[in-house]
Copies of this chain bind each other. A is one copy, B any other.
Amino acid sequence: MVVDQLSDAELDRLFQAFADTTRRDIMRRVAVGEYSVSGLASLYAMSFAAVQKHVAVLERASLVTKEKRGREQIVRGNHEGLQKARRLLDEYEAIWRQRAGRIADILAEE
């Protein structure tokens, strides 16, 4: 059963967000601890604005949320987003296994 239906555009954004090394690294970081945008920016050899854009991409993909705290913006991982991506790949995996099962049946018939 499909629990929640994601639109094509949402899935596009989700996987697009994962398709960049810096963004995957940010995901790993914010899964473990709390980071401000500038805190994240200090970790990479690129401008603050570039990191800011990466965070924005993750945010639009619902993989991350931002919360203002004083003058900082705290970035937090959003578990739901990650689960949605995982669920889709699980679906594909299931389709695959289903076929593998059918092939086994066909071989058994012969």
- Judge whether A18 is part of the interface by a CB distance below 8 angstroms: yes
Give the interface of A toward B (CB within 8 A).
Answer: 8, 11-16, 18-21, 24, 27-28, 31-32, 77, 79, 82-83, 85-86, 89-90, 92-93, 95-96, 99
Contact A19 B28 (CB under 8 A): no
Contact B90 A28 (CB under 8 A): no
Closest residue of chain B to A86, judged by CB?
A: B89
Knowing A18-B15, A19-B15, A19-B19, the reply to whether A92 touches B28 (Cβ < 8 A) is: yes
List 24 interface pairs A-B (beta carbons < 8 Å), by A numbering.
A8-B21, A11-B21, A11-B24, A12-B19, A13-B19, A14-B19, A15-B16, A15-B18, A15-B19, A18-B19, A27-B92, A28-B92, A31-B92, A31-B95, A31-B96, A31-B99, A32-B95, A79-B96, A82-B89, A82-B92, A83-B93, A85-B89, A86-B89, A86-B93
